[in-house]
Amino acid sequence: MQPKTVRRWADAGKLRFERTPSGHRRFHLADIKRITPRDLNQLEERITINYARVSSHDQKEDLSRQIQVLEAFSATNGWQYETISDLGSGLNYNKKGLQKLLKRIMQGDVGRLVLTHKDRLLRFSSELVFAMCEEFETEIVIINKSTEETSFEQQKYEFSKIQSVRHTFLGNSVSFIYNGR
């Protein structure tokens, strides 16, 4: 693609851009990716990542079962796969495995993400990761979809329970400090 073509598309409104103080154009990555011709063979050769997570060491057996289910599912479908597992809270965004997964998705290496359940990825905000997957053309496969997905209202209720517990344990110490006692 020639620079002149890109400028013409930008002038026609087909590509979003911002001008630098020196007058150069800076284009949005999503728009460039959208118009860039893709090698379909390259998309097919990307790897499937199985992601398993449990919250605590007490659940290590469950982690092993998740991994077995994910690997059997991927093998049955004939996919070339890797498995990433994490041990940690679904509220923690800094788990090593999750960080590795996100990095691989953003590098364009991952063609498919396989989960046993939606909440194995993150307890809240998994939709953010799903949006990232869509942007990088990563298919999401959830093996055990519940008949009713957790609604926003249900998530708010669960979050309020967490806040309630936090207030119960921290409320007195916070007011103690705040009141200057």
Known catalytic residues?
55
Closest by CA position to 7, among listed 22, 136, 23, 37: 23
Q: What is the largest CA-CA distance in the chain?
A: 70
H or E stretch at 115: strand 110-115
Token pair belonging to 91 = 């509220």
Closest by CA position to 95, among listed 43, 133, 135, 51: 51
CB 112 within 8 Å of CB 138: yes
H-assigned helices in 136-151 = none
Provide, for the chain, the percentages of residues in helix, strand and coil under a 3-state DSSP scheme, each rounded to the nearest 5.
Answer: 50, 15, 30
